[in-house]
Amino acid sequence: MNDLDDLALVGKCDPSDFLGAVEGFPDQLRDAHERSLRAELLPGLKGIDSVAVLGMGGSGISGDVARVILGEESNLFVQTLKGYELPKWVGPKTLVFAVSYSGNTEETLTTFEEATQNRRAPVVIVTTGGELAARGRKLGVPIVEVPEGLQPRAAFGYLSIPILVVCERMGLGPKAGPAIEETIALAGRRSAQWGREVPASQNSAKQLALRLAGKVPLIYGSEGLAEVAAYRWKCQFNECSKVPAWWHVFPELNHNEVVGWKQLAPLTRDSMALLVLRHDGEHPRITKRIEVTLPLIEANLGFVQQVRAEGSSALARLIDLTYFGDFVGTYLAIAQGIDPAPVEVIAILKSKLAGGD
């Protein structure tokens, strides 16, 4: 196991400084906010009743953030569409965001094409460039350009904030500014608490990563913002730490998954750890369900750890949860001696699907 306080070793394991991008996330949020305020808008849209976010993986999660944040405070129907096909409801009254960090993701290009060609939907693109930007420019589609050089999942702020700000500027969503300011300030404090300079003895992100080494993480959230955060944690463990990880959601898991801990207890006790993501806005019955559920299953897990968000706005709470997961997933990679940045298998898949070797 690598010593996470040995900064030379940390640098060696992380040659592209993925951890630096995580530590710099508060600045990214601020830059994302400023870019979104400057971005070109769609002229005079009337009667928009829904928002569709087209995107996959580290780009697509921006739509899940929008669904929770806009869904909570507006009458808009918001959905993320992660695939090749658009549902029937996407049409001229749907504001579509096509989000792809690289601008070259096959599924997103396919649904972008359908949205612009056949559905006559108004579209805004969020990307660094690629084919998506090229096609968008030809069609005169507004583009929120974000900087290159990051892994898509490390550009979480650049990809998520524009949707919230563009919706606000178009009079569709709630005021985004105060929640974004709160989120930036909280993330700034967290970066100072969880960054590499803070020794493991005082750094809860390093401590959790070290505890998780050798375990398969399972992450439970609850409907709404903690559900999105749980999925983000799962993906960060997969892509950064290169370990399998699973997630589920309260209250749904009380109706199925909770039964499944009975038979393989020796195996799950040895190999699995449960993280439960909590926040002060959760429904009181969810709080009760978590209190009742954990004692029923914890003996069948290596350990159970609860993670509680700070923040008063939904956005600050959501990002506070995901941000801790970003640090833990990155430290777990480094603790195992693994580079958190590359996602070799995704690159192989994309190349094979594009007809390469």
Q: Which residue in 239, 242, 279, 282 is the catalytic one?
A: 239
The encoded tokens of residue 151 equal 């892994």
Distance in angstroms between the alpha carbons of the first and the last residue of the chain: 35
Is 352 among the residues known to form the active site? Answer: no
Distances (CA, A) of 83 to 106, 246, 352: 9, 21, 18
Q: What is the DSSP letter of 196?
A: T
In the bound complex, what is the minimum distance in angstroms from residue 132's beta carbon to ligand F6R? 8
- The sign of the dihedral angle between the CA atoms of 33, 34, 39, 43 is positive
Positions in 172-211 near ligand F6R (CB under 6 A): none
Q: Is 153 in the site for ligand F6R (CB under 6 A)?
A: yes
Q: How far is the C-alpha of 136 from the C-alpha of 341, rounded, in Å? A: 29
The 123-127 sheet, strands edge to edge: 77-81, 50-54, 94-100, 123-127, 143-145
Region at 308 (left for phi over 0; alpha for psi -120 to 50; beta for the rest): beta
34 an active-site residue?
Answer: no
Q: How many residues bind ligand F6R (CB under 6 A)?
A: 15
**Collapsing DSSP states into helix, strand and coil, what is residue 99?**
strand
Binding mask 308-347 for ligand F6R (x = CB under 6 A): -----------------------------------x--x-
List binders of ligand F6R among 225-244 (CB under 6 A): 239
Q: Which of 46, 197, 255, 344 is catalytic?
A: 255
Residue closest to ligand F6R (Cβ): 57
Nearer to ligand F6R, 95 or 343 (CB): 343
Strands (E), the chain: 50-54, 77-81, 94-100, 123-127, 143-145, 216-222, 246-250, 272-278, 303-308
Token duo for residue 105? 């993701």
Kindly tell me which of 108 and 313 has the beta carbon lying closer to ligand F6R.
Answer: 108
- Tell me which stretch binds ligand F6R (CB under 6 A): 53-61, 69-77, 201-209, 323-331: 53-61
Interface with ligand F6R, residue 162, by CB under 6 A:
no
**Binding-site string for ligand F6R from residue 249 to residue 278, where x marks contact by CB under 6 A and - marks none:** ------------------------------
Query: Least Å distance between CB 339 and ligand F6R?
Result: 13
288 is catalytic: no
Stretch of residues binding ligand F6R (CB under 6 A), selected from 14-22, 50-58, 198-206, 251-259: 50-58
Per-residue binding letters, 63-102, with ligand F6R (x by CB under 6 A): -------------------------------------xxx
Q: Report if residue 151 touches ligand F6R, rule: CB under 6 A.
A: yes
Query: Is 105 an interacting residue with respect to ligand F6R (CB under 6 A)?
Result: yes
User: Per CB under 6 A, which region of 54-62, 179-187, 257-265, 275-283 contacts ligand F6R?
Assistant: 54-62
Count of other CB atoms within 10 angstroms of residue 314:
22
Rank residues 300 and 322 by Cβ distance to ligand F6R and give the closer one: 322
CA–CA distance, 318 with 349 (Å, rounded to integer): 30
Residue 62's Cβ-side half-sphere holds a number of Cα atoms within 13 Å equal to 34
Q: Is 157 in the site for ligand F6R (CB under 6 A)?
A: no
Q: How would DSSP label each residue in 40-83?
A: ---SS-----EEEEE--HHHHHHHHHHHHHHHHHSS-EEEEE-S
C-alpha 78/C-alpha 47 separation (Å) is 15
Where does this chain touch ligand F6R (CB under 6 A) — which range of 38-46, 148-156, 201-209, 304-312?
148-156
Minimum distance of ligand F6R from residue 58's CB (angstroms): 3
Contact residues toward ligand F6R (CB under 6 A) are 56-59, 100-102, 105, 108, 151-153, 239, 343, 346
Annotated active-site positions, please? 239, 255, 350
